[in-house]
Structure 1
Amino acid sequence: MAVPKKRTSKSKKNSRLAKWTNKANLQAKKALSLAKSILSGKSTSFISNNSEENTVKEV
């Protein structure tokens, strides 16, 4: 016969949520840092093609 599972405690639930949120925040911070370094032209870990065809020119 099926037995209901025990309920997960609030502290365990909050701990898991905090871990997931911190992981996402770290990835977002890394992505923003990489974007800033690419835009400034000081990036050494990312190779981009900055040819005339890829840049947008305003008329």
Structure 2
Amino acid sequence: MAVPKKRTSISKKRIRKNVWKRKGYWAALKAFSLSKSLSTGNSKSFFCPTKKINNQRLKKPK
């Protein structure tokens, strides 16, 4: 089994942790942006079925 010869420095550990956190931040930002565009009806890349109430379709906000 491979064993590291020296201990990883605190600064290198902090850098790796921040890179990992940044990936999560950007993923959350993209998800929020997509959900916002879906909720306002401005999405161009997703198909959202509209809800029916009393056999009438809801109109999308402009």
How high is the TM-score relative to the length of structure 2?
A: 0.71
> For residue 50 of structure 2, what is the aligned residue in structure 1?
50
The size of the alignment, in residue pairs, is 51
Give, as a single letter, the amino acid of the residue that structure 2 aligns with 1:50: T
> For residue 31 of structure 1, what is the aligned residue in structure 2?
31
> For residue 6 of structure 1, what is the aligned residue in structure 2?
6
1:47 Cα deviation after fit: 1.4
Q: For residues 31 and 4 of structure 1, do their structure 2 counterparts lie closer, same or farther at Cα, with a shift above 3 Å needed?
A: closer
- Root mean square deviation, CA, Å: 1.9
Gap regions ≥5 residues in structure 2: 54-62
1:46 Cα deviation after fit: 1.5
In terms of fraction of residues, the more strand-rich structure is: 2
Gap regions ≥5 residues in structure 1: 54-59
| Cα deviation digits, residues 24-55 of structure 1 (max 9, x gap) | 000000000000000000001221111317xx
Q: Percent identity?
A: 47
Q: Greater relative contact order (Cα 8 A, min sep 6): structure 1 or 2?
A: 2
Measured in 1, the distance between the counterparts of 2:6 and 2:34 equals: 44
How high is the TM-score relative to the length of structure 1?
A: 0.75
